[in-house]
Amino acid sequence: MAKQKLIRFAALSSLANVRQEPDGLRGRWAADFFHNEHPLILELGCGRGDYTVALAQGHPEINVLGLDIKGPRLWVGASRALELQLGNAGFVRTAIEQIETFFAPGEIAAIWITFPDPHPPAGRRKKRLTSPRFLAIYRSLLQPGGLIHLKTDDEGLYYYTLLTLRDEGAELLADLPDLYTGASNPDLTGIQTAYERRHLQEGKSIKYICFRFPAAG
């Protein structure tokens, strides 16, 4: 298994739909990477890219970038996207903390956060992807009215996010404590990551939150 990870990591740089140091693309992703002017969607912490690939496959009218720091996982999603000839799916190997370096203000149309780590090390709550620190970053990168979607099985992260959104003045558009009893949108229930399928098999409820930031001024 370790050898396979090393092989995949080494092969990552050879994949045309992957960028590891995307210098020069800030503000130019649609034109210079995807070669179109479609809206740009990010999946943060995309893992093996299940959501990135499925969103791109189901919506040829958008561009989707999956971001993750773990190269072998990205290799899986990037390889799958190439097999499917998805010209509107791409991947970036980076820490989420660095995204302001690679994207310009207003460049992002929407953000998906699918099953992030709900329990960062003790004393590092700001590492949660829905902490005020990260919300400020998303707000700077999103277009006016841009949506943020969160899916999680973790009750603690779910309630933490709701409280944080209230404190930060975000506009809550959807709050489903049990997604599969309250949603019919195929992008929500028709796309499942490996984590999500496992959680459902274990009988856990999947929670979904959608929100946006009010217009400045």
pTM score of the predicted model: 0.92
Which residues on adjacent β-strands are paired with residue 207? 152
Q: What are phi and psi of 139, to 5 degrees?
A: -60, -40
CA 21 to chain centre: 18
Q: Considering all CA atoms of the chain, what is the largest pairwise distance in Å, rounded to the nearest integer? A: 54
User: CATH fold of 2-212, please?
Assistant: Rossmann fold (3.40.50)
Contact predicate 39/93, CB 8 Å: no
Apex 125 CA angle, 108 and 174, nearest 5 = 50
User: 51, 195 in Cβ contact below 8 A?
Assistant: no
Closest to 187 (Cα-Cα) out of 208, 211, 161: 208
Break the chain into its structural domains and give their ranges: 2-212
Q: DSSP secondary-structure letter at 121? A: S
What Rg do the C-alpha atoms of the chain give, in angstroms?
A: 17
**Tens-digit pLDDT string for the chain (217 aa):** 555 655 565 678 789 999 987 789 999 999 999 999 999 999 999 999 999 999 999 999 999 999 999 998 999 999 999 999 999 999 999 999 999 999 999 999 999 999 998 876 555 677 899 999 999 999 999 999 999 999 999 999 999 999 999 999 999 999 999 999 876 788 888 898 888 998 889 989 999 999 999 987 5
Q: Which residues are catalytic?
A: 117
